[in-house]
Amino acid sequence: MFDVFKLTPGHTLSILVVVGVILDGLGLYEPLIDFAGAGATVPITSFGNSLVHGAMAEVEKHGLVGVITGMFEVTSSSISAAIIFGMLGALIFKPKG
């Protein structure tokens, strides 16, 4: 995608998360998980799937406020892990350039 469309990594990441959200919103992500197994639960599209599941679960409990709180309640562990491992990687390895 980087060479063909001249997208930055941030654009590509955002597109894949939104694709996961759209697929889950349309009810197509669960059949994809059934078909592909762990191959569909590991990539960044699964993060979009988790955002939707968390938001929908909290909307049923707390109403409209649950949209925001639910997204972060379910995905907070993966966001925290990304920050911690990114920091550890920055401390251990020497940057290029």
What local confidence, expressed as pLDDT, does residue 97 receive? 66
- Per-residue pLDDT at 1: 62
Amino acid identity of 65?
V
> Are the C-beta atoms of 55 and 26 separated by less than 8 Å?
no
Amino acid letter, residue 66: G
Tokens of 1: 């995608």
Question: What pLDDT, on a 0 to 100 scale, did the predictor assign at position 87?
Answer: 92
Condensed to tens digits (0 to 9), the pLDDT of residues 41-95 reads 777 888 888 888 888 888 888 888 888 888 888 788 888 888 899 999 999 998 7
Nearest to 44 by CA among 3, 1, 90: 1
